Amino acid sequence: MMQKRLFSLSRVLCYAMTLMFLAASSAQAELLIRVTEGADSAIPLSVVPFSESGSMPTGDKLSSIVQADLAMSGEFRTLPPEKMLSLPSKRSDVYFRDWRMLGQRYVLVGELTRNGDRVKARYELFDVNREERILGETATAPASNVRSLAHHVSDKVYEAITGVPGAFSTKLAYVTLERTNGQARYRLQVSDIDGKRARIRLESKEPIMSPAWSPDGKKLAYVSFETGKPAIYVHELHSGQRTKVADFPGLNSAPSWSLDGQSLLMTLSKDGNAEVYRMDLQTKNTEKLTNHWAIDTEAVWDSSGKGIFFTSDRSGGPQIYYMAKPGAEPRRITFGSRYNARPRPDSKGEYVYYVHQRDGAFLIARTNLKNDEETVLTRTQSDESPSVSPNGRMLIYATKHSGNSVLTVISADGGAAYSLPAAQGAVRDPAWGPIVQ
Protein backbone atom coordinates (compact mmCIF):
# COMPACT_ATOMS: atom_id res chain seq x y z
CA MET A 1 0.00 0.00 0.00
CA MET A 2 2.85 2.35 0.84
CA GLN A 3 4.50 1.59 -2.54
CA LYS A 4 1.25 2.45 -4.30
CA ARG A 5 1.00 5.69 -2.36
CA LEU A 6 4.55 6.68 -3.29
CA PHE A 7 3.88 5.92 -6.95
CA SER A 8 0.69 7.98 -6.80
CA LEU A 9 2.55 11.02 -5.55
CA SER A 10 5.60 10.79 -7.80
CA ARG A 11 4.01 9.73 -11.08
CA VAL A 12 0.43 10.89 -11.29
CA LEU A 13 1.48 14.43 -10.41
CA CYS A 14 4.15 14.26 -13.15
CA TYR A 15 7.05 14.38 -10.70
CA ALA A 16 6.18 16.20 -7.52
CA MET A 17 5.99 19.91 -8.22
CA THR A 18 9.02 21.81 -6.95
CA LEU A 19 11.06 18.62 -6.48
CA MET A 20 11.36 18.64 -10.25
CA PHE A 21 13.90 21.44 -9.92
CA LEU A 22 17.03 22.36 -8.10
CA ALA A 23 16.98 25.62 -6.18
CA ALA A 24 18.49 28.35 -8.34
CA SER A 25 19.10 32.07 -8.15
CA SER A 26 18.17 32.79 -11.76
CA ALA A 27 17.43 31.13 -15.10
CA GLN A 28 18.36 32.61 -18.45
CA ALA A 29 16.13 32.18 -21.49
CA GLU A 30 18.68 30.51 -23.77
CA LEU A 31 20.22 27.15 -23.11
CA LEU A 32 23.90 26.52 -23.64
CA ILE A 33 25.25 23.58 -25.63
CA ARG A 34 28.05 21.29 -24.52
CA VAL A 35 29.00 18.18 -26.50
CA THR A 36 29.88 15.52 -23.93
CA GLU A 37 30.43 12.36 -25.96
CA GLY A 38 30.87 11.42 -29.60
CA ALA A 39 30.10 8.20 -31.42
CA ASP A 40 32.96 5.95 -32.58
CA SER A 41 31.07 5.20 -35.81
CA ALA A 42 30.55 8.86 -36.75
CA ILE A 43 30.89 9.61 -40.49
CA PRO A 44 33.71 12.05 -41.44
CA LEU A 45 32.16 15.14 -43.05
CA SER A 46 33.55 18.58 -43.87
CA VAL A 47 31.40 21.70 -43.88
CA VAL A 48 33.52 24.23 -45.74
CA PRO A 49 32.89 27.86 -44.69
CA PHE A 50 30.54 29.31 -47.30
CA SER A 51 31.81 32.18 -49.41
CA GLU A 52 29.86 35.41 -49.00
CA SER A 53 28.72 38.15 -51.35
CA GLY A 54 27.19 41.27 -49.88
CA SER A 55 26.81 42.43 -46.29
CA MET A 56 25.87 39.47 -44.11
CA PRO A 57 24.00 39.68 -40.79
CA THR A 58 26.09 39.62 -37.64
CA GLY A 59 26.11 36.53 -35.47
CA ASP A 60 26.93 32.90 -36.13
CA LYS A 61 27.89 32.01 -39.69
CA LEU A 62 25.48 29.74 -41.58
CA SER A 63 28.13 27.10 -42.22
CA SER A 64 29.12 27.13 -38.53
CA ILE A 65 25.51 26.41 -37.54
CA VAL A 66 25.30 23.57 -40.09
CA GLN A 67 28.56 22.11 -38.80
CA ALA A 68 27.29 22.23 -35.20
CA ASP A 69 23.93 20.70 -36.16
CA LEU A 70 25.48 17.72 -37.92
CA ALA A 71 28.08 17.18 -35.20
CA MET A 72 25.56 17.18 -32.37
CA SER A 73 23.48 14.49 -34.08
CA GLY A 74 26.26 12.10 -33.12
CA GLU A 75 26.27 10.59 -36.61
CA PHE A 76 28.93 12.86 -38.12
CA ARG A 77 32.47 13.84 -37.20
CA THR A 78 33.13 17.26 -38.69
CA LEU A 79 36.54 18.60 -39.69
CA PRO A 80 37.59 21.98 -38.23
CA PRO A 81 38.12 24.55 -41.03
CA GLU A 82 41.68 25.23 -39.90
CA LYS A 83 42.58 21.63 -40.82
CA MET A 84 41.19 21.89 -44.35
CA LEU A 85 43.67 22.11 -47.22
CA SER A 86 41.44 24.44 -49.24
CA LEU A 87 38.13 26.30 -48.91
CA PRO A 88 36.17 25.63 -52.13
CA SER A 89 32.72 27.13 -52.70
CA LYS A 90 31.78 25.25 -55.91
CA ARG A 91 32.48 21.93 -57.58
CA SER A 92 35.20 23.15 -59.89
CA ASP A 93 37.30 24.03 -56.83
CA VAL A 94 36.83 20.67 -55.07
CA TYR A 95 39.91 18.43 -55.31
CA PHE A 96 38.68 15.05 -54.12
CA ARG A 97 42.20 13.68 -53.61
CA ASP A 98 42.85 16.30 -50.94
CA TRP A 99 39.67 15.39 -49.06
CA ARG A 100 40.50 11.68 -49.27
CA MET A 101 43.92 12.43 -47.78
CA LEU A 102 42.11 14.06 -44.87
CA GLY A 103 39.97 10.97 -44.39
CA GLN A 104 36.73 12.71 -45.33
CA ARG A 105 33.69 10.85 -46.67
CA TYR A 106 31.55 13.86 -47.57
CA VAL A 107 32.20 17.54 -48.20
CA LEU A 108 29.66 20.38 -48.25
CA VAL A 109 30.44 23.61 -50.07
CA GLY A 110 28.38 26.68 -50.85
CA GLU A 111 28.03 30.42 -51.12
CA LEU A 112 25.78 33.06 -49.60
CA THR A 113 24.45 36.08 -51.47
CA ARG A 114 22.74 39.07 -49.85
CA ASN A 115 20.10 40.83 -51.95
CA GLY A 116 18.22 43.49 -50.02
CA ASP A 117 16.58 41.90 -47.01
CA ARG A 118 17.01 38.34 -48.35
CA VAL A 119 19.89 35.89 -48.13
CA LYS A 120 20.30 33.13 -50.72
CA ALA A 121 22.29 29.98 -50.01
CA ARG A 122 23.54 27.82 -52.87
CA TYR A 123 25.07 24.60 -51.60
CA GLU A 124 26.38 21.27 -52.88
CA LEU A 125 27.18 18.01 -51.09
CA PHE A 126 29.74 15.61 -52.56
CA ASP A 127 30.56 11.96 -51.91
CA VAL A 128 34.36 12.09 -51.80
CA ASN A 129 35.02 8.43 -52.61
CA ARG A 130 32.68 8.38 -55.60
CA GLU A 131 33.52 11.94 -56.63
CA GLU A 132 29.79 12.53 -57.11
CA ARG A 133 27.45 15.36 -56.20
CA ILE A 134 24.58 13.88 -54.17
CA LEU A 135 22.82 17.14 -53.30
CA GLY A 136 22.64 20.54 -54.93
CA GLU A 137 20.05 23.17 -53.99
CA THR A 138 19.34 26.84 -53.52
CA ALA A 139 17.33 28.18 -50.59
CA THR A 140 16.47 31.69 -49.41
CA ALA A 141 15.36 33.30 -46.18
CA PRO A 142 15.04 36.78 -44.67
CA ALA A 143 18.38 38.20 -43.60
CA SER A 144 17.02 38.24 -40.05
CA ASN A 145 16.45 34.47 -40.15
CA VAL A 146 19.75 32.97 -41.25
CA ARG A 147 19.59 30.46 -38.41
CA SER A 148 16.43 28.87 -39.84
CA LEU A 149 18.09 28.76 -43.26
CA ALA A 150 21.07 26.97 -41.71
CA HIS A 151 18.85 24.39 -39.99
CA HIS A 152 17.11 23.81 -43.35
CA VAL A 153 20.46 23.11 -45.01
CA SER A 154 21.37 20.74 -42.17
CA ASP A 155 18.10 18.84 -42.63
CA LYS A 156 18.72 18.43 -46.37
CA VAL A 157 22.31 17.26 -45.90
CA TYR A 158 21.29 14.82 -43.16
CA GLU A 159 18.55 13.30 -45.31
CA ALA A 160 20.77 13.07 -48.40
CA ILE A 161 23.30 10.96 -46.48
CA THR A 162 21.10 8.91 -44.14
CA GLY A 163 17.82 8.69 -46.06
CA VAL A 164 16.03 9.92 -42.92
CA PRO A 165 14.49 13.42 -42.64
CA GLY A 166 16.55 15.78 -40.49
CA ALA A 167 15.09 17.24 -37.30
CA PHE A 168 17.28 20.35 -36.93
CA SER A 169 14.44 22.74 -37.85
CA THR A 170 12.20 21.38 -35.11
CA LYS A 171 11.65 22.96 -31.70
CA LEU A 172 12.05 22.07 -28.05
CA ALA A 173 9.65 22.96 -25.26
CA TYR A 174 10.82 22.81 -21.65
CA VAL A 175 10.24 24.34 -18.22
CA THR A 176 12.72 26.40 -16.21
CA LEU A 177 12.62 27.57 -12.61
CA GLU A 178 14.00 30.83 -11.26
CA ARG A 179 14.18 31.47 -7.52
CA THR A 180 14.70 35.04 -6.36
CA ASN A 181 14.50 35.93 -2.67
CA GLY A 182 12.64 32.70 -2.02
CA GLN A 183 10.05 33.38 -4.72
CA ALA A 184 9.62 30.78 -7.46
CA ARG A 185 9.05 31.68 -11.10
CA TYR A 186 8.24 28.89 -13.54
CA ARG A 187 8.65 29.54 -17.26
CA LEU A 188 7.44 27.46 -20.18
CA GLN A 189 9.91 28.08 -23.00
CA VAL A 190 10.34 27.11 -26.66
CA SER A 191 13.70 27.09 -28.45
CA ASP A 192 15.59 25.64 -31.38
CA ILE A 193 16.94 22.14 -30.66
CA ASP A 194 20.37 23.66 -29.96
CA GLY A 195 18.84 25.88 -27.27
CA LYS A 196 19.04 29.07 -29.32
CA ARG A 197 16.25 31.61 -29.90
CA ALA A 198 14.43 30.65 -26.72
CA ARG A 199 11.13 32.40 -26.06
CA ILE A 200 9.12 32.42 -22.86
CA ARG A 201 5.54 31.35 -23.57
CA LEU A 202 4.14 31.32 -20.05
CA GLU A 203 5.28 32.49 -16.60
CA SER A 204 3.74 31.49 -13.31
CA LYS A 205 4.48 31.42 -9.58
CA GLU A 206 2.99 27.92 -9.57
CA PRO A 207 4.40 24.78 -11.25
CA ILE A 208 4.06 24.18 -14.99
CA MET A 209 4.53 20.58 -16.15
CA SER A 210 4.33 18.03 -18.94
CA PRO A 211 4.38 20.16 -22.12
CA ALA A 212 3.22 18.19 -25.18
CA TRP A 213 3.29 19.31 -28.83
CA SER A 214 0.33 19.11 -31.19
CA PRO A 215 1.12 17.20 -34.41
CA ASP A 216 1.16 20.43 -36.46
CA GLY A 217 3.57 22.15 -34.07
CA LYS A 218 1.18 25.06 -33.51
CA LYS A 219 -0.01 24.25 -29.99
CA LEU A 220 1.24 23.00 -26.66
CA ALA A 221 -0.80 21.17 -24.04
CA TYR A 222 0.51 21.26 -20.47
CA VAL A 223 -0.41 21.09 -16.80
CA SER A 224 -0.50 24.31 -14.78
CA PHE A 225 -1.13 24.76 -11.05
CA GLU A 226 -1.89 28.49 -11.41
CA THR A 227 -5.34 28.10 -9.84
CA GLY A 228 -3.96 26.13 -6.91
CA LYS A 229 -4.71 22.68 -8.39
CA PRO A 230 -3.59 20.85 -11.54
CA ALA A 231 -5.48 21.74 -14.71
CA ILE A 232 -4.71 21.01 -18.37
CA TYR A 233 -4.42 23.88 -20.86
CA VAL A 234 -4.03 24.07 -24.63
CA HIS A 235 -1.88 27.01 -25.72
CA GLU A 236 -1.85 28.37 -29.30
CA LEU A 237 1.71 29.56 -29.82
CA HIS A 238 1.09 32.09 -32.59
CA SER A 239 -1.73 33.99 -30.89
CA GLY A 240 -0.89 33.18 -27.29
CA GLN A 241 -4.50 32.13 -26.68
CA ARG A 242 -4.91 29.62 -23.85
CA THR A 243 -7.87 27.31 -23.27
CA LYS A 244 -8.44 25.36 -20.06
CA VAL A 245 -9.62 21.95 -21.28
CA ALA A 246 -9.56 19.82 -18.12
CA ASP A 247 -10.25 21.11 -14.62
CA PHE A 248 -12.12 18.21 -13.05
CA PRO A 249 -12.08 17.45 -9.31
CA GLY A 250 -8.87 15.66 -8.37
CA LEU A 251 -6.07 15.02 -10.83
CA ASN A 252 -5.81 16.48 -14.33
CA SER A 253 -2.41 15.44 -15.65
CA ALA A 254 -0.17 13.92 -18.35
CA PRO A 255 -1.70 15.33 -21.58
CA SER A 256 -0.71 13.68 -24.86
CA TRP A 257 -2.02 14.46 -28.37
CA SER A 258 -3.64 12.07 -30.82
CA LEU A 259 -1.96 11.78 -34.21
CA ASP A 260 -4.72 13.85 -35.86
CA GLY A 261 -4.60 16.55 -33.20
CA GLN A 262 -8.32 16.21 -32.46
CA SER A 263 -8.09 14.70 -28.98
CA LEU A 264 -5.92 14.42 -25.89
CA LEU A 265 -5.05 11.49 -23.72
CA MET A 266 -4.92 12.51 -20.06
CA THR A 267 -4.98 11.13 -16.54
CA LEU A 268 -8.07 12.05 -14.51
CA SER A 269 -9.28 10.97 -11.07
CA LYS A 270 -12.69 12.60 -11.34
CA ASP A 271 -14.44 9.25 -10.81
CA GLY A 272 -12.32 8.28 -7.81
CA ASN A 273 -9.29 6.44 -9.18
CA ALA A 274 -6.59 7.73 -11.52
CA GLU A 275 -7.40 6.37 -15.01
CA VAL A 276 -6.47 7.15 -18.60
CA TYR A 277 -9.11 9.12 -20.54
CA ARG A 278 -9.43 10.42 -24.06
CA MET A 279 -10.94 13.90 -24.50
CA ASP A 280 -12.41 15.13 -27.78
CA LEU A 281 -11.18 18.71 -27.99
CA GLN A 282 -14.20 19.90 -29.97
CA THR A 283 -16.93 18.51 -27.72
CA LYS A 284 -14.86 18.16 -24.50
CA ASN A 285 -16.45 14.73 -24.06
CA THR A 286 -14.27 12.22 -22.22
CA GLU A 287 -13.97 8.46 -22.70
CA LYS A 288 -12.41 6.24 -20.03
CA LEU A 289 -9.81 3.96 -21.63
CA THR A 290 -8.58 2.11 -18.54
CA ASN A 291 -10.61 0.78 -15.64
CA HIS A 292 -8.57 -0.79 -12.87
CA TRP A 293 -8.03 -0.38 -9.14
CA ALA A 294 -4.37 0.52 -9.82
CA ILE A 295 -2.95 3.90 -10.84
CA ASP A 296 -2.95 4.22 -14.65
CA THR A 297 -1.21 7.29 -16.08
CA GLU A 298 1.25 8.78 -18.63
CA ALA A 299 -0.54 7.41 -21.67
CA VAL A 300 0.64 8.06 -25.22
CA TRP A 301 -0.52 6.72 -28.60
CA ASP A 302 1.62 4.25 -30.51
CA SER A 303 2.95 5.03 -33.99
CA SER A 304 -0.25 3.77 -35.64
CA GLY A 305 -2.56 5.89 -33.50
CA LYS A 306 -4.59 2.81 -32.58
CA GLY A 307 -2.99 1.53 -29.38
CA ILE A 308 -1.65 3.23 -26.26
CA PHE A 309 1.32 2.76 -23.96
CA PHE A 310 0.83 3.79 -20.34
CA THR A 311 2.31 3.44 -16.86
CA SER A 312 0.50 1.34 -14.26
CA ASP A 313 1.31 -0.15 -10.86
CA ARG A 314 -1.18 -3.00 -11.29
CA SER A 315 1.67 -5.51 -10.98
CA GLY A 316 2.81 -4.04 -7.64
CA GLY A 317 5.13 -1.30 -8.97
CA PRO A 318 5.19 1.08 -11.93
CA GLN A 319 5.59 -0.74 -15.26
CA ILE A 320 4.86 -0.01 -18.94
CA TYR A 321 1.74 -1.57 -20.43
CA TYR A 322 0.37 -1.62 -23.96
CA MET A 323 -3.31 -1.64 -24.95
CA ALA A 324 -3.71 -2.55 -28.64
CA LYS A 325 -7.01 -0.68 -28.86
CA PRO A 326 -9.42 0.93 -26.40
CA GLY A 327 -11.07 -1.80 -24.35
CA ALA A 328 -8.44 -4.45 -25.14
CA GLU A 329 -6.66 -6.30 -22.36
CA PRO A 330 -3.41 -4.43 -21.51
CA ARG A 331 -0.15 -6.31 -22.00
CA ARG A 332 2.86 -5.67 -19.79
CA ILE A 333 5.92 -4.54 -21.76
CA THR A 334 8.68 -4.05 -19.16
CA PHE A 335 10.11 -6.66 -16.77
CA GLY A 336 13.76 -5.66 -16.32
CA SER A 337 13.38 -3.85 -12.99
CA ARG A 338 10.84 -2.99 -10.31
CA TYR A 339 10.38 0.54 -11.71
CA ASN A 340 9.73 1.51 -15.37
CA ALA A 341 7.66 4.59 -16.22
CA ARG A 342 6.98 7.50 -18.63
CA PRO A 343 6.75 5.55 -21.93
CA ARG A 344 7.62 7.33 -25.18
CA PRO A 345 7.45 5.27 -28.40
CA ASP A 346 9.31 6.20 -31.57
CA SER A 347 7.50 7.16 -34.77
CA LYS A 348 8.30 3.88 -36.54
CA GLY A 349 6.86 1.49 -33.97
CA GLU A 350 10.25 -0.11 -33.32
CA TYR A 351 11.03 0.97 -29.76
CA VAL A 352 9.49 2.39 -26.62
CA TYR A 353 11.70 4.52 -24.35
CA TYR A 354 11.13 5.05 -20.63
CA VAL A 355 12.60 5.83 -17.21
CA HIS A 356 14.19 2.70 -15.75
CA GLN A 357 15.45 2.14 -12.21
CA ARG A 358 18.54 -0.01 -11.68
CA ASP A 359 20.82 -0.26 -8.63
CA GLY A 360 19.21 2.81 -7.10
CA ALA A 361 19.73 5.00 -10.19
CA PHE A 362 17.08 6.32 -12.56
CA LEU A 363 18.20 5.80 -16.16
CA ILE A 364 16.73 5.93 -19.66
CA ALA A 365 16.12 2.57 -21.33
CA ARG A 366 14.33 1.26 -24.39
CA THR A 367 12.60 -1.99 -25.31
CA ASN A 368 12.61 -3.40 -28.82
CA LEU A 369 8.93 -4.02 -29.56
CA LYS A 370 9.71 -6.88 -31.95
CA ASN A 371 11.84 -9.06 -29.66
CA ASP A 372 11.27 -7.47 -26.20
CA GLU A 373 15.01 -6.85 -25.76
CA GLU A 374 15.74 -4.12 -23.22
CA THR A 375 18.74 -1.78 -23.51
CA VAL A 376 19.83 0.79 -20.92
CA LEU A 377 21.01 3.88 -22.82
CA THR A 378 22.31 6.30 -20.17
CA ARG A 379 24.97 6.22 -17.49
CA THR A 380 23.86 9.13 -15.32
CA GLN A 381 21.94 8.73 -12.07
CA SER A 382 18.81 10.91 -12.05
CA ASP A 383 17.31 10.75 -15.55
CA GLU A 384 13.67 11.53 -16.32
CA SER A 385 11.20 12.80 -18.93
CA PRO A 386 12.46 11.18 -22.16
CA SER A 387 11.19 12.61 -25.46
CA VAL A 388 12.01 11.12 -28.88
CA SER A 389 12.94 13.26 -31.90
CA PRO A 390 10.35 13.06 -34.71
CA ASN A 391 12.77 11.21 -36.98
CA GLY A 392 13.50 8.64 -34.26
CA ARG A 393 17.28 9.24 -34.34
CA MET A 394 17.74 11.26 -31.13
CA LEU A 395 16.34 11.39 -27.62
CA ILE A 396 16.22 14.24 -25.11
CA TYR A 397 15.79 13.82 -21.37
CA ALA A 398 16.30 15.72 -18.11
CA THR A 399 19.13 14.81 -15.75
CA LYS A 400 21.71 16.31 -13.40
CA HIS A 401 25.30 17.12 -14.29
CA SER A 402 27.78 18.30 -11.66
CA GLY A 403 24.86 19.05 -9.38
CA ASN A 404 23.04 21.13 -12.00
CA SER A 405 19.75 20.40 -13.72
CA VAL A 406 20.29 20.01 -17.47
CA LEU A 407 18.75 18.58 -20.61
CA THR A 408 20.77 15.94 -22.45
CA VAL A 409 20.36 14.77 -26.03
CA ILE A 410 21.67 11.36 -27.06
CA SER A 411 21.54 9.36 -30.25
CA ALA A 412 18.71 6.83 -30.07
CA ASP A 413 21.18 3.99 -29.49
CA GLY A 414 22.95 5.91 -26.71
CA GLY A 415 26.16 6.30 -28.73
CA ALA A 416 26.61 10.08 -28.56
CA ALA A 417 25.45 12.93 -26.37
CA TYR A 418 25.31 16.68 -25.86
CA SER A 419 23.86 18.60 -22.95
CA LEU A 420 21.75 21.74 -22.79
CA PRO A 421 22.10 23.35 -19.38
CA ALA A 422 20.42 26.65 -18.62
CA ALA A 423 22.96 29.46 -18.33
CA GLN A 424 21.92 29.48 -14.68
CA GLY A 425 19.17 27.71 -12.80
CA ALA A 426 17.12 24.59 -13.45
CA VAL A 427 15.57 23.14 -16.58
CA ARG A 428 13.20 20.17 -16.83
CA ASP A 429 10.40 18.41 -18.70
CA PRO A 430 11.63 18.58 -22.33
CA ALA A 431 9.31 17.88 -25.25
CA TRP A 432 10.62 17.49 -28.81
CA GLY A 433 8.41 19.14 -31.42
CA PRO A 434 7.27 17.61 -34.73
CA ILE A 435 8.72 18.08 -38.20
CA VAL A 436 6.58 20.78 -39.81
CA GLN A 437 6.51 21.00 -43.58
The one-digit pLDDT tens for each residue of the chain (437 residues) are: 434 443 443 344 433 333 333 333 333 445 665 555 555 688 999 999 999 998 888 888 999 999 999 998 889 999 999 999 999 999 999 999 999 999 999 999 999 999 999 999 999 999 999 999 999 999 999 999 999 999 999 999 999 999 999 999 999 999 999 888 888 999 999 999 999 999 999 999 999 999 999 999 999 999 999 999 999 999 999 999 999 999 999 999 999 999 999 999 999 999 989 999 999 999 999 999 999 999 999 999 999 999 999 999 999 999 999 999 988 999 999 998 999 999 999 999 999 999 999 988 999 999 999 999 999 998 888 899 999 999 999 999 999 877 778 888 888 887 767 887 766 568 899 999 999 97
Are residues 405 and 276 part of one domain? yes
* CA 297 from centroid of its chain's CA atoms: 21
Q: Are residues 401 and 316 in the same domain?
A: yes
Same domain assignment for residues 156 and 15: no
Query: How far, CA to CA in Å, does 156 sit from each of 50, 72, 85, 149, 181?
Result: 16, 16, 25, 11, 47
Distance in angstroms (rounded) separating the CA atoms of residues 150 and 146 = 6
- Residues 85, 190, single domain; the answer is no
- Is residue 122 located within the same domain as residue 143? yes
Residue 424 lies in a domain: yes
User: What amino acid occupies position 406?
Assistant: V
Residue 68 placed within a domain: yes
Same domain, 147 and 187: no
Domain co-membership, 342 together with 202: yes
- Tell me how far apart the terminal alpha carbons of the chain are, to the nearest angstrom: 49
The one-letter amino acid at 288? K
Which domain-ending residue is among 120, 144, 162?
162
Residues 141, 244, single domain; the answer is: no
Compute how many other C-beta atoms are within 10 angstroms of the C-beta atom of residue 331: 11
Range of the domain at 74: 42-162
Domain's final residue, options 146, 162, 178: 162
Question: Identity (one letter) of the amino acid at 240?
Answer: G
Of the residues 130, 162, 194, the one at which a domain ends: 162
Report the domain count for the chain.
2
Residues 50 and 88 in one domain: yes
Q: Is residue 37 part of a domain?
A: no
Residue 25 to residues 179, 423, 429: CA-CA distances in angstroms? Answer: 5, 11, 19
Instruction: Indicate which CATH number applies to the domain containing 112.
Output: 3.40.50.10070
For residue 352, give the CATH number of its domain.
2.120.10.30
Is 36 a domain residue? no
